[in-house]
Amino acid sequence: MLTPAEFASANSHIDEDELERERMMTEDSDGWNDGSSGQKFSHVCKFCSKAFPFRSTLKVHVRSHMGLTPYKCMLCDYSSADKSTLVRHMRTHSGERPYSCKLCGFPFTTKANCERHVKKRHAKLSKLDIDVNIQHHPLQRLPEQGQFRSPDTICKICNRDFKFFRDLQNHM
């Protein structure tokens, strides 16, 4: 298990070339809808024509087509398409399991995994039954958002941390 200092120093690395290729594939277009709600979305994937309400959501989606994983773990070979997935991955190194089943005490790294366990192992089918049987106890918390930052996404003037390198460039 990592100490908080070791964990905080294991920041991600961002591959700028991958992000530039992604930028070229996520330029705005006259999109349509998501196929279900009839809502008009203006951010359309050039690979599969799926539309998204936000450009940032499209960016992460396009990475799946291009195989881009610009957020790198500094402790192993893992890389991910977005920062939040890397933060979740880092729990494998820290040993943090902030969710547990109230019925049997089994710990989980994510709420979704705990929900699936309660539903399958304990036959709790309603959302309320599932929710009341999940305990969140961040005793060993991941570093706060301000502590888990990549130097590649931090503005050197105002110290704001951006999720994407491109957002930092636009900010400048």
**pLDDT (tens digit, 9 = 90+) per residue, 107-130?**
888 899 999 999 999 888 899 989
Radius of gyration (C-alpha) of the chain in whole angstroms:
19
Cβ 66 vs Cβ 25: under 8 Å: yes
Query: Following CA atoms 154, 155, 159, 164 in sequence, which dihedral angle do they give, to the nearest 10 degrees?
Result: -40
Say whether pLDDT at 35 is over 50. Answer: no
Helix (H, G, I), strand (E, B) or coil at 97: coil
pLDDT band at 30 (very low <50, low <70, confident <90, very high): very low
User: Domains in the chain, ordered, with CATH?
Assistant: 4-93+151-165 (3.30.160.60), 97-136 (3.30.160.60)
Q: Amino acid identity of 3?
A: T
Q: Amino acid identity of 36?
A: S
Q: CA 102, CA 38: separation in Å to the nearest integer?
A: 40
**pLDDT (tens digit, 9 = 90+) per residue, 51-95?**
999 988 898 888 888 888 888 888 888 888 888 888 888 888 888
Residue 32, Cβ density class (10 Å: 0-12 exposed, 13-18 middle, ≥19 buried): middle
- Residue closest to 83 by CA, chosen among 143, 27, 171: 143
Alpha-carbon distances of 108 from 22, 71, 95, 160, rounded to whole Å? 33, 23, 10, 31
- Residue closest to 103 by CA, chosen among 91, 90, 119, 89: 119
Question: Position of tokens 């024509």?
Answer: 49
